[in-house]
Amino acid sequence: MEAELIASVRSGDRRALAKAISLVEEGGEVTGLGPPGRIVGITGPPGAGKSTLISALIDLTRSRDQTVAVLAVDPSSPITGGALLGDRIRMQGHVDDPGVYIRSMATRGTLGGLAATTEEAAVLIGAAGFDRLFVETVGVGQSEVEIMGLAAVVVLVVGPGWGDQVQAEKAGIVEIADVYVVNKGDRPGVAEVTRALRESADARGAKVLVTTATTGEGIANLADEIDRLLG
């Protein structure tokens, strides 16, 4: 990758950052840059409200005068191979904020919840100087735990009614989380899911938090816990 393009990324040029990530997705290499910084991974099953939760975290992060980037890993279109962009659409209220950068990446057949070039894209975002980077995995299943190797903190987001699946998932994503979030806390079933997660959370010394991302309830507590874990 050209040194001039990397210099533009470092200077905060968002178009240069977008171009550099696109080049990486097309097979380009990133060299001479440091690690991507301390990443916060947001993972969990489809329908748990991960994107809405991240949108609420963006609002809070910006209210604290910090910049924030999001890499949202989407399923690939079976026709074009590109990302379906559902996550970026749900976060589009932030697109005019110069302190926010949101990028969708297609899995392109890669298993594990991430895209093949997510780490390289994270390195480029780190070079751009964002204060916080959230990586949202595609809706995951039991074995899709690659985020554990990339993120400094892994947040598992589930919704009410997921309690019956906790034991089935116990050997996978439930056991990699540093924070457990039961989202949609205004709906029935939250207490049951919280209890079901408690054993795994206690084994990891982790907290189980309840949020309602649509109203912002519990988001500050989650952000504070992420900050504590990041040190």
Q: List, for residues 170-204, the tens digit of each pLDDT value.
A: 546 778 889 999 999 999 999 999 988 988 888 88
CATH number at residue 148: 3.40.50.300
Q: Which of 186, 158, 188 is nearest to 172 (CA)?
A: 158
| Within a domain: 18 | no
What is the Cα 36 distance to its own chain's centre?
14
| Within a domain: 3 | no
Please tell me the predicted confidence (pLDDT) of residue 203: 85
| Within a domain: 78 | yes
Separation CA 196–CA 14 (nearest Å)? 43
0.75 cut: is pTM over it?
A: yes
Please tell me the predicted confidence (pLDDT) of residue 75: 61
| Within a domain: 27 | no
| Within a domain: 87 | yes
Domain that holds residue 173: 36-230
Q: Which of 97, 99, 98, 117 is nearest to 107 (CA)?
A: 117
Q: How many domains does the chain have?
A: 1
Please tell me the predicted confidence (pLDDT) of residue 81: 45
Using alpha carbons only, give the angle 157, 158, 159 rounded to the nearest 5 degrees.
135
What letters, b where the CB count within 10 A reaches 16 and e where it falls short, cover 45-82? beebbbbbbbbbbbbbbbeeeebbbbbbbbebeeeeee
Separation CA 217–CA 62 (nearest Å)? 17
Cα-Cα-Cα-Cα dihedral sign, residues 142, 144, 150, 156: negative
| Within a domain: 12 | no
Q: Are 26 and 126 in contact (CB under 8 A)?
A: no
| Within a domain: 77 | yes
| Within a domain: 205 | yes
Please tell me the predicted confidence (pLDDT) of residue 204: 86
Q: Which residues in the chain land under pLDDT 50? A: 76-84, 111-112, 142, 171
